[in-house]
């Protein structure tokens, strides 16, 4: 049984608290938020719990073994650093930090202190992403052709970050998790419309050394909501539509074969088209699975797959995308 403190009780904090609270191995002992109104809501939801408005008070509590940091990204580094220095395991919202440098420092600190950092890339714990990873790990799709992710909708304009830092952490972490290789460079294009210097439309590409491209369209100004990822390989191809109520993942027995039976100048490209299969997807709440995994990793002293390094990869891509954007789409090496 580990005592957990929650810092931040805004939009996502209550979900984090609720999920840790439902687990046998965890005990939430303190919730911290600067806003008294939010603390009142915390008390209503978890009667009898300690609350405080100063995160350092929570972090200073020696009884607490792990801290969940559910605050804006600009505060992640300071809070996580303080917690790690005090010997606490850290569960932190995505993206891990505002810069690669900060992420590297935290990873270093955690390693030296033998502590766990888990970055809350919740999507990695959905039934859909688990199924996709399973398929790609097994080589079901064959050699990959491309990866294309569209995450667009109208709304939720953020004031402190651009659309890349808001939406792309989801897609970067998913791609990084399921695609076996690592990107070597990033390019990005974007534009903004309200004179705030924060892009609201962005097109990002991750480049791999074999020419493979993963492309991401992130957009706050789209007439319709789309959450669709295409992954195409020479043996099979798949579509993940996260908004579908049923059949979120469709696997197509389609592919492309190339033959060369008439000499090098006459490659024959032929298409195969077979059945479609929509596997049943687990609908366990992803955050519950993730919270439970965090406790397991602590107990077994095991490095989670969504650790500081995984979080760093995402931050590295975000930083590169931002730089490329400023440099007219120049290719930024990772």
Nearest to 132 by CA among 171, 188, 163, 89: 171
For a second copy, the binding residues in 22-81 under the rule CB under 8 A are 47
Write the interaction track for a second copy spanning residues 126-155; mark x where CB under 8 A is met and - where it is not.
Answer: -----------------x-xx-x---x-xx
| Three-class DSSP category at 229 | strand
Q: Which of 22, 15, 24, 20 is nearest to 4 (CA)?
A: 20
| Nearest-approach distance from CB 300 to a second copy, in angstroms | 32
> Whole-number minimum distance, CB 152 to a second copy, in Å?
8
Under the binding rule (CB under 8 A), the answer on residue 237 touching a second copy is yes
Structure tokens at 166: 């808001």
> According to CB under 8 A, which one of 102, 232, 292, 306 is a site residue for a second copy?
232
C-alpha to C-alpha distance for 170 and 153, rounded to whole angstroms: 15
Q: What whole-number distance in Å separates Cα of residue 35 and Cα of residue 273?
A: 57
Quote the least distance from Cβ 39 to a second copy, whole Å: 18
- At closest approach, how far in Å is the CB of 183 from a second copy? 13
Shortest Å distance, C-beta 14 to a second copy: 16
**Least gap, CB of 235 to a second copy (angstroms):** 12
Helices (H), ranges, 163-255: 163-178
Nearer to a second copy, 270 or 301 (CB): 270
Helix/strand/coil for 317: helix
Residues with Cβ within 8 Å of 20's Cβ and at least 6 positions away in sequence, in order, are: 4, 6, 26, 28, 68, 291
Q: Give the HSE-up count for residue 124: Cα atoms under 13 Å, Cβ half-sphere.
A: 23
# residues near a second copy by CB under 8 A: 64
Does 242 bind a second copy (CB under 8 A)? Our answer is: no
* Residue of the chain from 48, 112, 138, 245 that contacts a second copy (CB under 8 A): 245
Site for a second copy (CB under 8 A): which residue of 191, 282, 284, 299? Answer: 191
Question: Which one among 213, 227, 288, 303 touches a second copy, defined by CB under 8 A?
Answer: 213
For the CB of residue 259, give the shortest distance to a second copy in the complex, in Å.
10
Neighbours of 25 (CB within 10 A): 15
> In the sheet that 221-233 helps form, which strands lie side by side, from edge to edge?
249-259, 237-241, 221-233, 144-154, 213-219, 201-207, 185-191, 332-333
- Beta pairing, strands 237-241 & 249-259: antiparallel
Identity of the residue, 232 or 292, whose beta carbon is nearer to a second copy in the bound complex: 232
Residues that bind a second copy (CB under 8 A): 47, 143, 145-146, 148, 152, 154-155, 157, 187, 189-196, 200-201, 203, 205, 207, 211-213, 215, 217, 219, 221-224, 230, 232, 234, 237-239, 243, 245-247, 250, 252-254, 256, 258, 267, 269, 271, 273-280, 328-331
């Amino acid at each position: 049984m580990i005592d957990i403190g929650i810092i931040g009780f805004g939009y996502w904090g209550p979900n984090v608290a609720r999920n840790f609270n439902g687990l046998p191995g965890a005990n939430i002992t303190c919730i911290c938020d600067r806003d008294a109104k939010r603390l009142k809501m915390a008390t209503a939801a978890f009667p009898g719990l300690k609350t405080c408005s100063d995160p350092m008070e929570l972090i200073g509590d020696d009884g607490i073994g792990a801290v969940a940091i559910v605050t804006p990204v600009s505060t992640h580094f300071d809070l996580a650093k303080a917690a790690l220095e005090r010997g606490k395991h850290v569960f932190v919202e995505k993206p891990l930090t505002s810069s690669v440098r900060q992420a590297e420092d935290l990873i270093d600190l955690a390693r030296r202190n033998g502590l766990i950092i888990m970055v809350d890339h919740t999507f990695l714990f959905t039934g859909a992403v688990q199924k996709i990873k399973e398929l790609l790990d097994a080589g079901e799709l064959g050699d990959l052709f491309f990866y294309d992710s569209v995450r667009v909708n109208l709304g939720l304009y953020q004031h402190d970050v651009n659309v890349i830092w808001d939406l792309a952490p989801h897609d970067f972490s998913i791609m990084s998790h399921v695609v076996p290789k690592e990107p070597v460079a990033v390019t990005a294009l974007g534009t903004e419309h309200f004179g705030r210097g924060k892009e609201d439309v962005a097109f990002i590409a991750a480049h791999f050394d074999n020419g493979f491209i993963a492309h991401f369209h992130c957009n706050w100004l789209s007439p319709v909501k789309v959450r669709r990822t295409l992954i195409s390989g020479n043996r099979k191809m798949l579509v993940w539509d996260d908004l579908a109520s049923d059949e979120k993942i469709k696997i197509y027995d389609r592919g492309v074969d190339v033959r060369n039976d008439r000499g090098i100048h006459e490659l024959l490209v032929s298409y195969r088209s077979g059945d479609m299969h929509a596997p049943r997807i687990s609908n366990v709440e992803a955050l519950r699975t993730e919270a439970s995994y965090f406790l397991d990793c602590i107990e077994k002293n095991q490095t989670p797959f969504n650790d500081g390094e995984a979080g760093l990869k995402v931050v590295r891509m975000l930083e590169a995308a931002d730089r490329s954007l400023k440099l007219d789409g120049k290719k930024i090496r990772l």
